[in-house]
Structure 1
Amino acid sequence: MFNKEKKFPHVKKGKGHPLILLHGLMGGLSNFQSILDFFSEKGYKVIIPSLPLYKMPLFLTNIYHLSKYVIQFIMEMNIKKATLVGNSLGGHVALIIAKKRKDLVHSVVLTGSSGLFEKSFGYVFPKRENYEYIKKKSQEVFYDPNIATKELVDEVFRIVNDKNKGMKTLYLAKSSMKYNMSQDLSFIHQPICLIWGKQDHVTPPEIAKEFHRLLPHSELYWIDKCGHVPMMEHPKKFIDILKKWLSKFDFNHKNFLYRI
């Protein structure tokens, strides 16, 4: 059910250990529909905040203030020790929160996350008025180009050609590139699950391996024939990996015991 509460609009479904799902720069709440439906029926409280990508003042439109917004949201929801699941820019936000607010984060799931390196959609959006160009760039996000439906391409086209949204998209993309976390990852000690598409051209497999090397308590899982958004392209495989990984924790124990 979508909560239209003005300060923190979000979707919330289910009861139990909180999973907070964070979408990427060109993503939205629907990207996580399969995860919302499945885990909300399996003893988890699944929450998807609508990130204010285009609602922050221009001078505050950066990844730092986006992470600050999510921290405020988590506190407003009175949640402690959540699992953050982040795709692309959302993964970057999750890592920042995990480092800054250990009290709020039990664990993190990253899929196609920025934070080290990414091949941008195009920070200056060349040919942004060319629909076929935007269609091609949208298709490149996926292994199967058919995942980029006309509806999805139309939405991206609208965003990059809207003066306000286009400018804020650039600001967020550039701040993500500047906020490299290679020196920060060794300080993040929560359990980390990396779920990566083997054919991710935006954050290539080498990036997943580097995250795995730098994050002290990480596990890396691959999905073949998959691009930058695994939970959309292979929802069942993504859910199977995540379900198995989460089953290692006893969320009924106050210290969230890890099952070996």
Structure 2
Amino acid sequence: MERKLKEEGKYKYIEIGEGTPIVVLHGLMGGLSNFDGVAEFFPKKNYQVVIPELPIYTLNILKTNVKAFAKFVYDFIKHKDYKEVILLGNSLGGHIALYLTKMHPEVVKGLVITGSSGLYENAMGDSYPRRGDYEFIKKKAQDVFYDPEMATKEIVDDVFNTVNDRMKLIKTLTIAKSAIRHNMSKDLSNMHTPTCIIWGKNDGVTPPDVAEEFDRLLPNSDLYWIDKCGHAAMMEHPDTFNELMYNWLVAKNIK
């Protein structure tokens, strides 16, 4: 689904609807289109969906880390003059959302994470030296989903092109190391922001016990499962994901 990308200075983002802003943070290999279901659903419920393009591959290598990405998103929130937002993050985006919430809880009224890094990091870079092997990359992309057919040729091509770009590969590995370095296990017990954890029961990237650990450590969290679902719940089961998230927001009176 094509959506108009707004550009304001260093920020590029999609903005749909009006109401309480849901700031959506994509993952390392994820695109803005991964959240088409969210972008369709929530504006009808009086929420504004805002999806900034994260500077995954454009920051200086020394600033290619979770902390710098969280600062970028915080600066974006200030740029947009939002007083409070709901943060929704998948994979690396969840990790960035967690780190931002730790540093600036005053701007986050609700946090939603799915397949988030921050506690357990699959060694995403270990096998990438075989980056010229298209079939190998295709299998890696398929492993993200419960249904391998979700890994369309477009998705596989994007991953293949990324890992075959030397600088992008270096930054991918740098981010992977940063994710390990910025482990959140000691921080979560001090984070009281209402948090909704939505997880695929068949997530092979961040397995289900990671979700249980997030739920155990976060003092104000609720955990929901989606069956027959991998690492990107909002893509594989958008209707179920939206329903779980919306019902949670209503129950917590976050609007």
TM score, norm. by length of structure 1: 0.94
Q: C-alpha separation between the residues in 2 aligned to 1:168 and 1:122?
A: 11
**Is the contact made by 2:198 and 2:226 (CA closer than 8 Å) also made in structure 1?**
yes
| 1:50 paired residue number | 53
Match of 1:130 among 114, 130, 133: 133
Q: C-alpha separation between the residues in 2 aligned to 1:141 and 1:71?
A: 28
Match of 1:140 among 136, 139, 143: 143
Structure 1 spans left out of the alignment, 5+ residues: 253-260
| 1:97 paired residue number | 100
- Deviation by residue 1:223-242 (Cα, 9 ceiling, x = unmatched): 00000000000101101101
Instruction: Identify, as 1 or 2, the structure richer in helix.
Output: 2
| 1:113 paired residue number | 116
**Is the contact made by 1:14 and 1:45 (CA closer than 8 Å) also made in structure 2?**
yes
Q: C-alpha separation between the residues in 2 aligned to 1:173 and 1:67?
A: 15
Q: Give the superposition deviation at 1:187.
A: 1.1
Q: C-alpha separation between the residues in 1 aligned to 2:205 and 2:252?
A: 31
Q: C-alpha separation between the residues in 2 aligned to 1:178 and 1:211?
A: 17
- Deviation by residue 1:190-247 (Cα, 9 ceiling, x = unmatched): 1000000000000000000000000000000000000000000010110110111011
Q: C-alpha separation between the residues in 1 aligned to 2:68 and 2:123?
A: 20
Q: C-alpha separation between the residues in 2 aligned to 1:208 and 1:118?
A: 13
Match of 2:179 among 176, 184, 194: 176
Match of 2:68 among 65, 72, 83: 65
Alignment of 1:238 with 2:247, yes or no, is no
Q: Give the superposition deviation at 1:122.
A: 2.5
| 1:157 paired residue number | 160
**Is the contact made by 1:123 and 1:174 (CA closer than 8 Å) also made in structure 2?**
no
One-letter amino acid matched to 1:102: P
- Deviation by residue 1:40-98 (Cα, 9 ceiling, x = unmatched): 12100110000000000011111111111111001101112211000000000001111
Q: Give the superposition deviation at 1:125.
A: 1.1
Q: Give the superposition deviation at 1:173.
A: 1.1
**Is the contact made by 1:195 and 1:220 (CA closer than 8 Å) also made in structure 2?**
yes
| 2:214 paired residue number | 211
Q: C-alpha separation between the residues in 2 aligned to 1:230 and 1:34?
A: 11
Alpha-carbon RMSD across the aligned residues, in angstroms, is 1.1
- Deviation by residue 1:140-193 (Cα, 9 ceiling, x = unmatched): 000000000011000000000001111111111110011111000011101000
Q: Give the superposition deviation at 1:6.
A: 3.5
Alignment of 1:222 with 2:225, yes or no, is yes
One-letter amino acid matched to 2:52: P
- Deviation by residue 1:104-131 (Cα, 9 ceiling, x = unmatched): 1111001000000032333461311100
Q: C-alpha separation between the residues in 2 aligned to 1:181 and 1:249?
A: 24
Q: C-alpha separation between the residues in 2 aligned to 1:187 and 1:74?
A: 23
**Is the contact made by 1:83 and 1:107 (CA closer than 8 Å) also made in structure 2?**
yes
Runs of 4+ in 1 over 6 A off after TM superposition: none
**Is the contact made by 1:82 and 1:106 (CA closer than 8 Å) also made in structure 2?**
yes
Q: Give the superposition deviation at 1:251.
A: 4.8
Q: C-alpha separation between the residues in 2 aligned to 1:190 and 1:170?
A: 30
Structure 2 spans left out of the alignment, 5+ residues: none
